[in-house]
Structure 1
Amino acid sequence: MAKKKSIFVCQNCGHESPKWMGKCSECGEWNTMVEEVDFSKAAGKENTRERGVYSKPKPLSEISYIGDKRYPTMNEELDRVLGGGIVPGGMILLGGDPGIGKSTLLLQTTEALGNQGHKILYISGEESEQQLKMRGERMQVKSENIYFLSEINIPYILGIILEERPDIVIIDSIQTMYSPDITSAPGSVSQIRENTGALMQIAKKDNISMILVGHVTKDGSIAGPRVLEHMVDTVLYFEGEKYHTYRILRGVKNRFGSTNEIGIFEMTENGLQTVVNPSEMMLDSRPQNTCGSVVVPCMEGTRPLLIELQGLVSASGFGNPRRMSTGMDYNRMVLLMAIMEKRLGIQMQTVDAYINVVGGIKIDEPALDLGVVAVLYSSLRDFQIPGDLMILGEVGLTGEVRNIQHIDKRLMEGLKLGFKRCIIPKGNQKGISLKGMEIIPVDNIRSALDILN
């Protein structure tokens, strides 16, 4: 029998080291190295091959393909993010904060898929069968094609999957699954990596769709090794505050569809409901006749979305002024304030500044820049931005307003909701074919703010 050898594995990134280190040399985190058994050295040759590795190579012309077959979930927002539905044999990783609604979304999805005749196996490592029944009755899950199992032992789970042959398997969650062949505790890097690999072999060999629920760390990333996200086909993040009504499902990786697509849901007493018109929802409670508020048309994947951007500037009572941003990058906000001070001659060093993207949504695209400058200037000078005016554009370090993409889609969304005017980058003026909206082109932030005054 081969002698077992110990290695030290970083619980944050999965980096392996032959000796213990206080600081991981790969990710830079402290006190994350844990001793584990190196099974690649300890196992004999008889254990190096797993089920499904014996497939023979084929030329592309001999591989059968039945087209873009998918299992539609009958949920418009979820299907949008997935690219049309669940792909047979695909692996989906769903992450989100505790209590955000991951299990609720999956239960509603299983009911819709079960009513279409698909066999679903829901495996929970966090709830008992009685708890699953209570939640299923509350969510009105009545399909007879859904089978529930409360189990964490991976070898037993793999045997059940091969015996039952379901179309879709849901693992809630991958961090609770345990393999007795690995000495480390559930949730460790070795357990997550090896258990996911075993599930992936069955998914690809037997064409069974897998949906894995993943816990997230305090910084919002999925717990476990980064290789977990590389192994799966699709990575979805469920965002939002659990005490707020709206939830956002964001696709950050998708081998079978577009990336960075979002779906918007509303949490109600009967579960998650799709939001038909998210732009109208975002602007529903927008205040009137107030300074420091503007509407910016943004793009989330292929969907135009109107969001309300709010800014507040007040005198600072301390030596170091305070800056705070919610829904956008903090460093980007500080950079835009530095541009305003340098290019407009506005003293921003003695004021506190706050930026808020209303609705709990996070916006990363640079088209938000000109709107940030506008709301901060509006609050500082205490004047109102017209309610029928939209503003968008990227701001460079010299104060110029740079071009953005998908200008027609953004303007069309604003026209649907009654906006009459829009300040845009001057370089985008030539490509606009939309009629019915006054277009105001600008080439720098000073000319944009002169229009507002």
Structure 2
Amino acid sequence: MFRCRECGATSQKWQGKCPACGEWSTLDEETSLSKSKKQAIGKTQEVFQILEARESITKVQLRSNELNTVLGDGLTPGSLILLSGEPGIGKSTLALQIADWYSGKENTAVYVSAEENIHQISDRAHRLGIANEHIRIFTAHTLEDILETLEKDNSGLIVIDSISMISSLDVSSQSGSITQIRYVTEVFMEFSKRTGRSIILIGHVTKEGTISGPKILEHLVDTVLFLEGSKYEDYRILRALKNRFGPTDEIGLFRMAEKGLIDIANPGLEFIDKENEYLSGSALGITLEGNRPIVIEIEALSTYTKFGYPKRSARGIQNGKVDLLIAVLSKWSDTKLESYDVYVNVARGLSISEPGIDLATVAAIISSKK
């Protein structure tokens, strides 16, 4: 049996091109783990009542209020967290900073890298201004080597960079395959729950922007964090797509600076271009990112065209929404745009989908035609 590492489709024979998603050279042979022919016998487990509130888990407060908010008021011991995002967005930077925010006199962290050597990790730490003696680092590619090392280490937080580069000797397929990613994640989940130590797995994304690996990967972990933003802007938004220990409508706002990610406690006018304050074609609106209100700026430009089909272009807003708003304007107002090209943009590269910005978009379009 062969399975595609991109979409998870199966095929009875190897093919150069996946018949489901069309990707090339992504079919890997899937070998099932050897099982004993003897019938397994289970052991009776102790059954408990629901613990009192004072006996429940005490979360660890990190030195980042934004991250604490996203995680649900702190890091839960024994949790398995998947951190993903676009290439170059700052996943490894954030992971190293999380280790720094966690580590102190009472807590230690270990950073395991399968993509960089210790010199490269140390250089990044120096660039970020991290000089924390409570952070340990080592490099390894084999799951068994990592587990053997972690069993002898007592760090409360473990960062794995990245899950796609780790492989197990018990699985014959190559690292990054669906079989390897699933098996490695299951082993880390068992290790995390057994030892009560938190693990952060750094994951990659596909070209469609979805988390790489099998969909079950997101079901196995306790929390799925997604770091997003524009490479040409200095802000980053951390979202919790799944969280067993807190809400999923919270976001963390960070600014990417020379020393890494810095909390934006009060965004205020963070996403406003102050130079456009008195220009036509600009309007302010309030949107909700998670449950946090943010003031954003909508920019619009309308130009007369002699062609029969005027152009409508939007960035940060769905094109269909802009077409609908222009149709409403043309029908129910004095602003006629049948002979005008209209361009709409959300400042600072934000992408907004909620209807709360419709009025600001209409105001910007009307202003641009005056």
TM over 0.5: yes
Query: What are the ranges of 5 or more consecutive residues in structure 2 without an aligned counterpart?
Result: none
Question: 27, 36, 39: which one pairs with 2:28?
Answer: 36
One-letter code of the match for 1:98? P
Q: Which has the higher contact order (CA 8 A, sep 6+)?
A: 2
Q: For 1:2-17, list aligned pairs within 5 A.
A: 7-17=1-11
Alpha-carbon distance between aligned partners in 1 of 2:136 and 2:103, rounded to the nearest angstrom: 10
Answer yes or no: is the 8 Å Cα contact 2:105–2:134 preserved in 1.
no
Question: 259, 264, 271: which one pairs with 1:270?
Answer: 259
Change in CA separation of 1:298 and 1:47 when aligned onto 2, cut-off 3 Å:
farther
One-letter code of the match for 1:39? T
* Residue aligning to 2:70: 81
Per-residue CA shift, 1:388-446, capped at 9, x if unaligned? xxxxxxxxxxxxxxxxxxxxxxxxxxxxxxxxxxxxxxxxxxxxxxxxxxxxxxxxxxx
Give the paired residue count: 368
Change in CA separation of 1:127 and 1:333 when aligned onto 2, cut-off 3 Å:
same
SS of alignment partner, residue 111 of structure 1: helix
Q: For 1:310-349, list aligned pairs within 5 A.
A: 310-316=299-305, 320-344=309-333, 347-349=336-338
* Residue aligning to 2:119: 130
Answer yes or no: is the 8 Å Cα contact 2:58–2:76 preserved in 1.
yes
Cα displacement (A) at 1:85: 1.4
SS of alignment partner, residue 146 of structure 2: helix
Residue identity (%): 36
Alpha-carbon distance between aligned partners in 2 of 1:153 and 1:317, rounded to the nearest angstrom: 64
SS of alignment partner, residue 203 of structure 1: helix
Cα displacement (A) at 1:346: 5.6
* Residue aligning to 1:174: 163
* Residue aligning to 1:292: 281
Cα displacement (A) at 1:57: 6.0
Alpha-carbon distance between aligned partners in 1 of 2:274 and 2:65, rounded to the nearest angstrom: 25
One-letter code of the match for 2:353? D
1:199 to 2:218 alignment = no
Q: For 1:62-101, list aligned pairs within 5 A.
A: 66-101=55-90
Change in CA separation of 1:197 and 1:316 when aligned onto 2, cut-off 3 Å:
farther
Q: For 1:47-446, list aligned pairs within 5 A.
A: 56=45, 58-61=47-50, 66-283=55-272, 285-316=274-305, 320-344=309-333, 347-380=336-369, 382=370
Answer yes or no: is the 8 Å Cα contact 1:246–1:267 preserved in 2.
yes
Change in CA separation of 1:181 and 1:167 when aligned onto 2, cut-off 3 Å:
same
Alpha-carbon distance between aligned partners in 2 of 1:318 and 1:185, rounded to the nearest angstrom: 55
Answer yes or no: is the 8 Å Cα contact 2:4–2:18 preserved in 1.
no
Change in CA separation of 1:349 and 1:132 when aligned onto 2, cut-off 3 Å:
same
One-letter code of the match for 2:360? G
Q: TM-score, normalised by structure 2?
A: 0.89
Alpha-carbon distance between aligned partners in 2 of 1:48 and 1:247, rounded to the nearest angstrom: 52
Per-residue CA shift, 1:59-108, capped at 9, x if unaligned? 44479983241121110111121111111111111112222222222222
Per-residue CA shift, 1:122-174, capped at 9, x if unaligned? 00111101111222222232222211011111121122222213211101111
Cα displacement (A) at 1:19: 5.0
Per-residue CA shift, 1:294-341, capped at 9, x if unaligned? 111112222211111112222346555433322233333333334434
SS of alignment partner, residue 136 of structure 1: helix
One-letter code of the match for 1:44? K
Answer yes or no: is the 8 Å Cα contact 1:81–1:263 preserved in 2.
yes
Q: TM-score, normalised by structure 1?
A: 0.73
One-letter code of the match for 2:261? L
Answer yes or no: is the 8 Å Cα contact 1:286–1:308 preserved in 2.
no
SS of alignment partner, residue 238 of structure 1: strand
Change in CA separation of 1:284 and 1:171 when aligned onto 2, cut-off 3 Å:
same
Alpha-carbon distance between aligned partners in 2 of 1:120 and 1:168, rounded to the nearest angstrom: 5
Change in CA separation of 1:158 and 1:334 when aligned onto 2, cut-off 3 Å:
farther
Answer yes or no: is the 8 Å Cα contact 1:11–1:32 preserved in 2.
no
Alpha-carbon distance between aligned partners in 1 of 2:311 and 2:65, rounded to the nearest angstrom: 42
Cα displacement (A) at 1:201: 1.1
Change in CA separation of 1:351 and 1:232 when aligned onto 2, cut-off 3 Å:
farther
SS of alignment partner, residue 98 of structure 1: coil
Change in CA separation of 1:95 and 1:35 when aligned onto 2, cut-off 3 Å:
closer
One-letter code of the match for 1:249? L
* Residue aligning to 1:388: none
Answer yes or no: is the 8 Å Cα contact 1:258–1:301 preserved in 2.
no
Alpha-carbon distance between aligned partners in 2 of 1:285 and 1:33, rounded to the nearest angstrom: 49
Alpha-carbon distance between aligned partners in 2 of 1:170 and 1:255, rounded to the nearest angstrom: 19
Alpha-carbon distance between aligned partners in 1 of 2:111 and 2:60, rounded to the nearest angstrom: 16
